[in-house]
Amino acid sequence: MSNNDTLGNARIAILGYGSQGRAHALNLRDSGLDVVVGLRKGGPSWEKASAEGFKVAEPGEAVKGADLVAVLTPDMVQADVYTQSIEPNIKPGAALLFAHGFNVHFKRIDPRKDIDVILVAPKGPGALVRTEYERGRGVPSIWAVYQDVSGQAEAKAHAYANGIGGGRAMLIKTDFKEETETDLFGEQAVLCGGASSLVQAGFETLVEAGYQPEIAYYEVLHELKLIVDLFYEGGITKMLQFVSETAQYGDYVSGPRVIDAGVKARMKDVLTDIQNGTFARNWIAEHEAGLPNYNKFKKADLEHPIEVVGAKLRARMPWLQPETAKQAG
């Protein structure tokens, strides 16, 4: 990939070396860009990044002299990272980049007025961002400009997106508000909250009707992957092509009975709480209180009967084990 001159001679500081941080750092380096990784000394990520050949420094040191600082740490620590390590050290005219707009949009971070503030978010997990880059391809990415003091903020966002491989696929312009609110809504109403609650309710319905938990597990959780893969590969169109006519008819007549106008109305309530800041305020307060409700909710999910029976069944499916081990690592 030819480097964009905008970042060709720039130093890029990647703060965080998790799934996205590692992928971004490796891809940018392989694109010929100068990368330093900012991490707390002594942690496992420090050793991993060093072993993979990166210059590694404490976050504040990594920020000093950097032309672009990418914040790829978890949402709830970013405000402290900004206050302690970025704000005192980032040079005027440099760019501050996020992969999720939560902290800027909800005013947990008030960026200095003499820096560019941009967003680049690949629409895929870090492992995919890396493997697609290695194959000479890329993962579509969305980008945004929040603050442009250099006159080059858009060019910097594009250059960074190209550096991680996004330009090989597709770049979609957004803004911090749209990215943050749609991302939170998708997680809560469909991808995580909606899907897991739908699966649990389906399991409970079958078990309470007297069916075996093992059969219920396969019908409402295990086989969901088959449908989601079809969605992923070709949308609802491909799903309908590959399921039976009986399943199609059931989709048409029963889907709207379960996911009805009341569900959509409650989805709008969820979106309203995201838009007006209620969710963000509640989540920040929960985090600051030590996560008492979060831990209670998580415990309930992990101890749900579908997880108990699922663990036993998955242990008898050896084809799942390599994937499980890979994700755990």
Q: What does the DSSP assignment read for 192-208? A: THHHHHHHHHHHHHHHH
Exactly one of 24, 100, 105, 158 is catalytic; name it.
100
Asked if residue 252 belongs to a known ligand binding site, the reply is: no
Is 4 among the domain residues? Answer: no
Is 189 among the domain residues? Answer: yes
**Does residue 2 or residue 133 have the better pLDDT?**
133
pLDDT at 4 > cutoff 80:
no
| Section 158-169 average pLDDT | 98
Q: Are 86 and 65 in contact (CB under 8 A)?
A: no
Is 93 among the domain residues? Answer: yes
Which of 121, 144, 174 is the last residue in one of the domains? 174
Is 251 among the domain residues? Answer: yes
pLDDT at 325 > cutoff 60:
no
**The tokens of 78 are what?**
């970013």
Is 244 among the domain residues? Answer: yes
Asked if residue 18 belongs to a known ligand binding site, the reply is: yes
Alpha helix segments (H runs only) across the chain? 5-8, 19-30, 44-51, 59-63, 75-81, 102-105, 126-134, 153-163, 176-185, 193-208, 213-217, 224-242, 245-258, 261-275, 278-288, 292-302, 305-314, 321-328
CATH assignment of the domain containing 104: 3.40.50.720
pLDDT of residue 42: 85
Measured CA to CA, the distance from residue 115 to residue 146 in angstroms comes to: 10
Measured CA to CA, the distance from residue 296 to residue 61 in angstroms comes to: 38
| 79-134 pLDDT, tens digit each | 999 999 999 999 999 999 999 999 999 999 999 999 999 999 999 999 999 999 99
Is 2 among the domain residues? Answer: no
Is 329 among the domain residues? Answer: no
Contacts of 113 (CB under 8 A, 6+ apart): 147, 149
SS3 259: coil
Which of 174, 204, 224 is the last residue in one of the domains? 174
Residues 300 and 224 in one domain: yes
Residues 191 and 86 in one domain: no
Residues 22 and 154 in one domain: yes
SS3 136: coil
pLDDT of residue 43: 84
pLDDT of residue 5: 77
Residues 196 and 316 in one domain: yes
Residues 164 and 294 in one domain: no
The pLDDT confidence band at residue 1, using thresholds 50, 70 and 90, is very low
Asked if residue 160 belongs to a known ligand binding site, the reply is: no
Region of residue 42 (left: phi > 0; alpha: psi -120 to 50; beta: else): left
pLDDT at 209 > cutoff 70:
yes
Measured CA to CA, the distance from residue 172 to residue 236 in angstroms comes to: 22
Residues 161 and 273 in one domain: no
Residue 316 CB coordination number (10 Å): 7
Residues 267 and 137 in one domain: no
Residues 194 and 153 in one domain: no
- Catalytic, 100? Answer yes
pLDDT of residue 118: 98
Asked if residue 202 belongs to a known ligand binding site, the reply is: no
Residues 150 and 194 in one domain: no
- Which 8-state DSSP code applies to residue 82? I
**The tokens of 21 are what?**
């941080």
Q: Are 164 and 122 in contact (CB under 8 A)?
A: yes
The pLDDT confidence band at residue 270, using thresholds 50, 70 and 90, is very high
State which H helix or E strand residue 110 sits in. Answer: none
Residues 80 and 170 in one domain: yes
Q: Domain count of the chain? A: 2
pLDDT at 322 > cutoff 80:
no
**The tokens of 233 are what?**
């590969």
Asked if residue 126 belongs to a known ligand binding site, the reply is: yes
Which of 174, 206, 230 is the last residue in one of the domains? 174
Task: Give percent of the chain with pLDDT exceeding 90.
Answer: 95
pLDDT at 225 > cutoff 90:
yes
Residues 91 and 140 in one domain: yes
| Section 201-223 average pLDDT | 98
Residues 24 and 141 in one domain: yes
pLDDT of residue 306: 98
Is 1 among the domain residues? Answer: no
pLDDT of residue 321: 84
Domain limits for position 297: 183-320
Average pLDDT, the chain: 96
